[in-house]
Chain A
Amino acid sequence: MNIAVLVKQVPDTTEIKIDKETGALIRKGIPTITNPDDLTGVELALQLKETYGGNIHAFTMGPSSAKNMLRELYARGIDEATLLSDKAFAGSDTWATSHILASALKKHAFDLVIAGRQAIDGDTAQVGPQVAEFLKIPHVSYVDRVIDYNDGMLKVKKNEEHRMLTLNLPTPALITVLDEAAKPRYMNMFDIFRRSHLPLNQLTCDDLDVSLADIGIKGSPTKVKKTFNKSATQKQPKQTLNPEQAARTILDFIEAKGGQS
């Protein structure tokens, strides 16, 4: 089973700070991580490889600093890693990003493409399905578990709001995975030393069959008009009260609002 895994390097969101004056992100000194859902995808790929054999190839689009993330994925056990990096890619929205990723994936034959459900910086959950469409292969989003893989047929559980679906999906196919799908393993020191220096593939715009009109800011159907911090609503006075007073204040407040109790 040959597997492609789509990964993204993201800022560690809990540490994101906003410049209160400008509303801009302070990126300086912000640590980056592999997007958590993508790490789930990598782990799932490793488990599938252990069961069914094959090869795992990770793809990411991003700045050259994303190489560090790919080295970490080597240490985790993937077989090959490709960084798609070019100034012309900068500012790509999900449509353009998917177009670029799909162009790189088309150079290979994969049975399965795994993407994380969504990235913690953009939260769109769009790139996986869009890549599937560009590759003209079926996809299932929100996969909770891969049950098995037989004769080219993948059986998965999909987690919807009120129900779980068991679906059969012929490969080649793409799935986007929830964090329930696999629990990333710990890396061991031996693999970190032995594997993180494996060579990385690097592709630029010239290596791919993409037109400049379809990538970057220019090729992105969506444009960011403005970004801002949601200004917190006006601060209400806070009261420090002992529990008894607090409970009474709350009940009085509820009653004044219309007597919910």
Chain B
Amino acid sequence: MKYTDGNNCFVYIDHDEGTINQVSLELLTEAKHLMKRLKAPEKVVAIWLGTFTDDILKMLGDYGADHIITCEREDLNQYDVMKHTTVISEMIDAYHPQSMLIGGTVKGRELAPRISARVHTGLTADATQIDLDGETHHLAITRPAFGGNLYATIITPDHFPQMATIRPGVFEAKTFGHTSLPTQETFQYDKALHSPIEVMAIEEKDTKRTNIADAKLIVSAGRGVKNCLNLVSDVAAHLNGEVASSRALVDGGIMSKNHQVGQTGHTVRPSLYIACGISGAVQHTAGMDKSDTIIAINTDENAPIFDVADLGIVGDAQAILKQLQKQLDA
């Protein structure tokens, strides 16, 4: 789809029955920063499907939305890839946004490509950085490829909206001290919406949900400490931190997937990240190199993890963890 009259940056708000996914707030904040850098600043427009309330309006405004377009149908409260594709594509047709950001969650990565195919535009997956190409609306979107061994900057020069998915934790959600609430308008869509996909059952996963994405301190375990994970947990507990792991331990069935940091796991940005026995392939560092401070422990002095570390210790992580435990106990 090509057009030149549109403006604004759409941000798709991912929510479950009104509970907003943090990644959407991160994108609102990032979109706000981007739009401010334009010579003629433009609006950040939050896209909301389903039942809408004043509390949601205020919250979206706090994180950067200038305007909200809602489609308040009860049959949109539950995410459905077919219905959401239809309504969002109709919105794009009606409003001609220059760009659209969607959280790189399972939902987002299922939905965004479908929309991009329908409206015939470019979609860049898993952006880690978004810049503006000069003072134009063109987004220069940087993303990793080849498991993080290579980065590419992608542009969508003549199709709109320029779409990108962004994984949780890549950008920071921040509130702006707004004096006024965002404006709101309703997108009237009265046609019947059918989806052939029927939800039969929903099971919540792991009741004891580890939330490494929000942790302030993470002790992360790699192959080098696979035989002393209790030690890792103990040191993490002493430091009031969470335990995470590299992909190797998840693939090996030793740690569960929700602990995994890296390109195919979580992106984390704690104040402190302690990498124990992790070699630090780009696939891993892509998920943690935005941590404020990184300590790396590895026996191999050439391990790439040391390239991102603020403090690098060459040594046996197990022995060092044992000492840490001892000194923390003292």
**Chain A residues within 8 Å of B, Cβ to Cβ:** 11, 13-14, 16, 18, 23, 25, 93-95, 98, 120-130, 132-134, 138-142, 155, 158-170, 173, 220-230, 232-233, 235-244, 246-251, 253-254, 257-258, 260-261
Contacts and interface: CB of A to CB of B under 8 A. Distances in A.
B50 interface: no
Interface stretch (B51-59, B65-73, B146-154): B146-154
A177 to B, nearest CB: 13
Interface stretch (B26-34, B37-45, B115-123, B170-178): B115-123
30 contacts: A23-B150, A95-B116, A95-B120, A121-B146, A124-B113, A129-B110, A130-B114, A139-B110, A139-B114, A142-B109, A160-B105, A163-B204, A164-B202, A168-B200, A220-B122, A221-B116, A221-B156, A222-B123, A223-B157, A225-B155, A238-B313, A241-B313, A243-B316, A247-B326, A250-B311, A250-B320, A257-B271, A258-B271, A260-B217, A261-B328
Contact of A130 (B105, B113, B327): B113
Contacts of A125: 109, 113, 125
Interface of B: 81-82, 85, 105-107, 109-114, 116-118, 120-126, 140, 144-159, 195-205, 209, 216-217, 238-241, 258, 263, 271-272, 274, 282, 289, 293, 295, 297, 301, 304, 306-316, 319-320, 322-324, 326-328
A208 B105 CA distance: 34
B118 A133 contact: yes
Contacts of A238: 301, 306, 309, 312-314
B59 to A, nearest CB: 20
Given A168-B197, A232-B307, A123 B117 contact: no
Contact of B311 (A160, A221, A243, A253): A253
A254 B270 CA distance: 13
Contacts of A11: 146
A54 B254 CA distance: 38
A228 B197 CA distance: 41
B152 A139 contact: no
A250 B106 contact: no
B294 to A, nearest CB: 9
Most buried by B among A130, A243, A261: A243
B189 to A, nearest CB: 19
A25 B204 contact: no
Given A126-B112, A232-B308, 16 more contacts: A25-B149, A124-B126, A125-B109, A142-B106, A158-B106, A163-B202, A163-B203, A167-B197, A224-B152, A227-B152, A238-B301, A238-B312, A242-B315, A247-B323, A251-B328, A260-B240
Nearest to A176: B110
A123 B126 contact: yes
Nearest to B204: A163
Contacts of B282: 230
A127 B125 CA distance: 11
B37 to A, nearest CB: 18
A160 B151 contact: no
A213 to B, nearest CB: 11
A158 B258 CA distance: 16
A241 B323 CA distance: 12
Given A247-B323, A257-B293, A165 B122 contact: no
A241 B313 CA distance: 7
A164 B106 CA distance: 11
Q: 5 tightest A-B contacts by CB?
A: A221-B122, A247-B323, A232-B307, A222-B122, A133-B117
B120 to A, nearest CB: 7
